[in-house]
């Protein structure tokens, strides 16, 4: 099958290569000219036979919107646009409606697999009309892992990225649990082989997983993670998952806490903790650290001289 691939970064480039290895003809376009088969989106569209299929793998938000807008001007009735990036499911519904006015069909597809997808395949979560999804199945079959699992037609337009959003929210919680367990083991006085503990859990335990395998792999190269700074970005999907939970009145305490932990990781001197330190000093006379790094009781530390307010 012939397909255009827009966006040839770490994910898109490997996906294009997996499709080529599977016997498909891929015409790739990227802003970085050296990675492209063509020099523009127009040239990509001109190279494809009708009905055309174009897979978009660019960052969510404005880049995706701009790409969809331009494709809407270049493609024809009956062509297909697949958004495989990490778009918000609400944007999918907007894009599908815009393209439908011109007779262009739309599928949203959440993709998971990272840099390992070329070798292992990609888990795909699709949303869209059944006839369009079935039309694109040769592409999906090549991209997915071998076997029965790894692909789902999750529902109507938006369902694929909604499913991927929840997938990433679960990933946040799992990663945070491993991180907190690692920190506690490292802080222990009696556990001397933290890496060995995680490695031993890969067989026969209920927490064995690919994430656990990847953590052990990281510890193999840096046992105490001394070469890393404790800073973690978040994709938009973690935030969208929490927002969707609010919209649907579904409690997500673990995923929400994991998202907030990432926010905290970016603060060398968390402002909120200044308030906590000040209050501990005020009510208990606890030592506080100055901005210069010195530790003391504080110039106005009240000790036991402050009379607590009466409780009414």
| Per-residue confidence band for 301, with pLDDT thresholds at 50, 70 and 90 | very low
Q: Whole domain around residue 237: which residue ranges? A: 164-265
> CA-based angle 231:235:239, to the nearest 5?
105
Helix (H, G, I), strand (E, B) or coil at 168: helix
> CA-based angle 103:109:110, to the nearest 5?
155
The residues, any chain, with a CB within 8 Å of residue 155's CB and separated by 6 or more, are 127
Residue 43 is assigned to a structural domain of this protein: yes
pLDDT, tens digit (0-9, with 9 covering 90-100), for 162-200:
999 999 999 989 989 999 999 999 999 999 999 999 999
Statement to judge: residues 149 and 59 lie in one domain: yes
Statement to judge: residues 7 and 145 lie in one domain: yes
Statement to judge: residues 145 and 38 lie in one domain: yes
Residue 274 is assigned to a structural domain of this protein: no
pTM: 0.84
Residue 56 to residue 74: CA distance in whole angstroms: 14
| Per-residue confidence band for 265, with pLDDT thresholds at 50, 70 and 90 | confident
Length reported for the chain:
312
**Catalytic residue list:** 164, 171
Residue 280 is assigned to a structural domain of this protein: no
pLDDT at 302: 46
How many domains is the chain partitioned into structurally? 2
Helix (H, G, I), strand (E, B) or coil at 216: helix
Residue 293 is assigned to a structural domain of this protein: no
Looking at 157, 190, 209, the residue that finishes a domain is 157
pLDDT, tens digit (0-9, with 9 covering 90-100), for 194-206:
999 999 999 999 9
CA quadruple 194, 198, 204, 207: dihedral sign? positive
Looking at 98, 125, 157, the residue that finishes a domain is 157
Statement to judge: residues 91 and 230 lie in one domain: no
pLDDT at 303: 46
Residue 288's beta-bridge partner residues?
A: 296
The total of other beta-carbon atoms located within 10 Å of residue 158's CB is 23
Residue 281 is assigned to a structural domain of this protein: no
Residue 79 is assigned to a structural domain of this protein: yes
Alpha-helical regions (H) of the chain: 10-21, 41-47, 62-74, 89-100, 117-120, 130-135, 137-143, 159-187, 194-200, 210-221, 236-247, 253-265, 271-284
Residue 76 to residue 67: CA distance in whole angstroms: 15
Statement to judge: residues 21 and 115 lie in one domain: yes
Residue 65 is assigned to a structural domain of this protein: yes
Residue 27 has pLDDT above 50, yes or no: yes
Statement to judge: residues 192 and 152 lie in one domain: no
pLDDT, tens digit (0-9, with 9 covering 90-100), for 83-105:
999 999 999 999 999 999 999 99
Statement to judge: residues 175 and 129 lie in one domain: no
Q: What is the CATH number of the domain that holds 208?
A: 1.10.1040.10
Statement to judge: residues 70 and 16 lie in one domain: yes
Residue 247 is assigned to a structural domain of this protein: yes
């Amino acid at each position: 099958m012939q397909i255009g691939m827009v966006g040839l970064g770490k994910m898109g480039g490997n996906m294009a290569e997996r499709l080529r290895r599977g016997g498909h003809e891929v015409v790739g376009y990227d802003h970085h000219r050296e990675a492209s088969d063509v020099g523009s989106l127009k040239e990509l569209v001109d190279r494809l036979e009708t009905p055309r299929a174009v897979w978009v793998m660019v960052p969510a938000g404005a880049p995706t919107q701009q790409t969809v807008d331009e494709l809407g001007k270049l493609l024809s009735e009956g062509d297909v646009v697949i958004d495989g990036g990490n778009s918000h499911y609400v944007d999918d519904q907007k894009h599908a409606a815009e393209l439908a006015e011109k007779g262009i069909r739309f599928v949203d597809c959440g993709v998971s697999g990272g840099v390992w997808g070329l070798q292992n395949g990609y888990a795909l979560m699709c949303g869209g009309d059944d006839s369009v999804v079935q039309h694109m199945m040769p592409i999906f079959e090549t991209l997915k892992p071998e076997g029965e699992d790894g692909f789902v037609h999750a529902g109507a337009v938006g369902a694929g990225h909604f499913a991927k959003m929840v997938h990433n929210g679960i990933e946040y919680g799992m990663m945070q649990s491993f991180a907190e367990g690692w920190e506690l083991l490292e802080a222990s006085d009696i556990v001397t082989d933290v890496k060995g503990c995680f490695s031993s859990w890969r067989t026969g335990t209920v927490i064995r997983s690919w994430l656990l395998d990847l953590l052990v792999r990281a510890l193999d190269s840096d046992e105490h993670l001394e070469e890393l700074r404790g800073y973690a970005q978040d994709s938009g999907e973690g935030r969208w998952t929490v927002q969707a939970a609010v919209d649907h009145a579904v409690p997500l305490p673990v995923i929400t806490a994991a998202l907030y932990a990432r926010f905290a990781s970016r603060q060398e001197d968390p402002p909120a903790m200044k308030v906590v330190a000040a209050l501990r000093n005020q009510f208990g006379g606890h030592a506080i650290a100055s901005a210069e790094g010195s530790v003391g009781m504080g110039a106005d530390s009240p000790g036991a001289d402050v009379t607590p307010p009466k409780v009414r």
